[in-house]
Amino acid sequence: MNINNKVRLYGAGGHAQIIKFIIKDNNDLLDGVYDDDPKLAHKNFYGVRKGFRLNKNEFSYDNIPFIVAIGDNRIRAEIAGLLKCSFSNAIHASAIICENVQIGEGTVIYAGAIIQPNTNIGKHVIINTAANVDHDNTIHDFAHISPNATLCGLVEVGTGSHIGAGAVIIPQIKIGKWCVIGAGSVVIQDVPDYAVVVGNPGRIIKINT
């Protein structure tokens, strides 16, 4: 087998398992898995190494890029800020990515996702299984678009926001930063920063300060 690239994962949970298989399918080499609590690693990970916060003095990058394989947006942002290295992407071969799509470093795109033209995706974003991102969207750093979520055209998702599984965001809606849109919600109006939205139509149930 011809190896294309080496990559390391920071994080050893269920989310990391999926990225592991994307790496394998892309004929890339998983060169190591690191975690801040190796004892809690997923059962299918072996030989998990100590993360940066457990091994600051001896942590070595070896010029190999990382993917921060952590589903929690805030923790992913924290770890990405600590690591002084380059970051790789993991994009499943079955994802459909149209022309003029910009994808930032560290972003992962799962099987069956569709990214339509002129969309700008930031750094360390998760586009999960079968998510549908329509044309001219802007998805900022550390956001997570969950399985089967639909973002219609000209939607903006703020930094660190989580769009729940099966949620629908109608066209020209702006979601603020660090918001949570509940699974199955239908968002028909702009959402302020830190808001939690649930229901159809979506309603704000609290603001996380």
Angle in degrees, CA 79, 35, 127, rounded to 5:
60
Tokens representing residue 116 in the block? 């339509």
Integer CA distances (angstroms), 79 to 3, 35, 90, in order: 27, 10, 17
Of 15, 135, 144, 162, the catalytic one is 135
User: If you search the block for the tokens 């989580």, which residue do you land on?
Assistant: 162
Give the C-alpha separation, 154 to 32, whole Å.
Answer: 38
Tokens representing residue 43 in the block? 């059962």
Beta bridge partners of 94: none
User: If you search the block for the tokens 């600051």, which residue do you land on?
Assistant: 56
Active site residue 124: no
Catalytic (active-site) positions: 135
